[in-house]
Structure 1
């Protein structure tokens, strides 16, 4: 098993990677902090007097009022695209690709903003959320389209599938996990990978784990990459440790 396109897109958009926003009819792109909450809704956090909030503010319409003053656009949402590119956990790790999330952003105020701040905090408990309603502002984007690109292949992801997918529970700690295996369990991992490969292919250099997710890990074998699956998807770090125990302790698997 391996992650679906919706799961990878959800992982990239979870809120732990840098993002830029392309806003309709505005200069850009603009960097913005974001998370995708448990319901798959994109929340955007920015300074209330910053360029991002200003770009999303209602703009004067083309038609003047009877008094000659510009008429404000009655719609309180603005079309935008959130652009997020994967940052590999370490040198030599392949990138997961890039995701574009398109939709309409709406500023949140009052009780909506308070609830959104709590939803945001479940993903990223930033102290700046305490300033929402003052120096910080939250926008919510209603997702209309999700596109995922990897290795020059572009895939449309159904927005409902995107919302329903769960981000990978290991993504935030992937670097720590890979570094721990390299620093403390290199021999055990190498022996395990060679056993899995059998006699069909034995790399010259020591196999190196370069990516990890809930379904398994990716290993570099000389100039090739191989994916090895876990017996089942893992739920968290503790569950991963349980599954890896027989891998790191070969005698336990005998």
Structure 2
């Protein structure tokens, strides 16, 4: 099991990573503070006095402006692979009144910034439903069905992934390394083959191993997808508890 392309895009555009907004017939790109609501619609928090606010002002009598949100993954550690880059596009319109207040709550669920208290005065919220989705990884661009995108969920561990990897490396290194060696069938105590967890998601661990310059990667799947940090602790309990039975599957690539 591994994240689907739609899940990866939802994770990238959720609002935890920096984003750029490209607007039709505008110079850009513009740095933007964004989030997504439970339906995957993109929310943009924009200062009233800014170039982006001016660019989002409709021309020709229309009420919406074509926008592409561009988000690049930031790997949690040096050498870890990137999840790639996501582009989601739609027609952005300004929110007011009850719609703006409801959208501010959705934004706060992802990024609880105090600037949301000033929506309607110093800031405005814009929203667009995603009508086109593209995902780039390893030089290949793939189109994702917008319906699949809307139905997917962001990975719950992505916001704290770097912290989790640091904790595993600093507090559980010896036991985790022994477990990974057994699962991957590596030569015990050979430092040239020391495995390292590079990424973690709801479905499992991505591990690198091998000699310098010839590293390989494998996924170790959890028995069931985890939904939060506590679920990850339960999934790893057999690994980190010396008396627990160790189970897992490895899919080398």
- What is the CA-CA distance between 1:24 and the residue it aligns to? 0.3
Count of paired positions = 241
Distance between the aligned counterparts of 2:39 and 2:186, measured in 1? 47
Report the counterpart of residue 191 of structure 1 in structure 2: 178
Q: Which runs of structure 2 are paired with 1:39-188 in the superposition (5 Å)?
A: 39-59=39-59, 73-188=60-175
Distance between the aligned counterparts of 1:19 and 1:94, measured in 2? 19
Report the counterpart of residue 205 of structure 2 in structure 1: 217
- What is the CA-CA distance between 1:9 and the residue it aligns to? 0.2
TM-score, scaled to structure 1: 0.91
RMSD over aligned Cα, in angstroms? 1.5
Task: Answer with 195-204 or 230-239: which moved more.
Answer: 195-204
- CA offsets, 1:20-51, max 9 Å, x none? 01100001100000001111111000101111
Distance between the aligned counterparts of 1:53 and 1:232, measured in 2? 44
2:237 is matched with which residue: 215, 220, 245?
245
Distance between the aligned counterparts of 1:49 and 1:183, measured in 2? 45
- CA offsets, 1:147-185, max 9 Å, x none? 001111111111111111110000011011100111111
Distance between the aligned counterparts of 1:238 and 1:129, measured in 2? 29
Is the 1:147–1:156 contact (alpha carbons within 8 Å) kept by the matching residues of 2? yes
TM-score, scaled to structure 2: 0.92
- CA offsets, 1:65-87, max 9 Å, x none? xxxxxxxx221101111000000
| SS at structure 1 position matched to 2:244 | helix
Report the counterpart of residue 207 of structure 1 in structure 2: 195
- What is the CA-CA distance between 1:200 and the residue it aligns to? 9.0
Is there any run of 5+ residues in structure 1 with no aligned partner, and where? 60-72
| SS at structure 1 position matched to 2:150 | helix
Is there any run of 5+ residues in structure 2 with no aligned partner, and where? 247-253
Distance between the aligned counterparts of 2:191 and 2:161, measured in 1? 24
- CA offsets, 1:68-127, max 9 Å, x none? xxxxx2211011110000000111111100000011110111111111111111111111
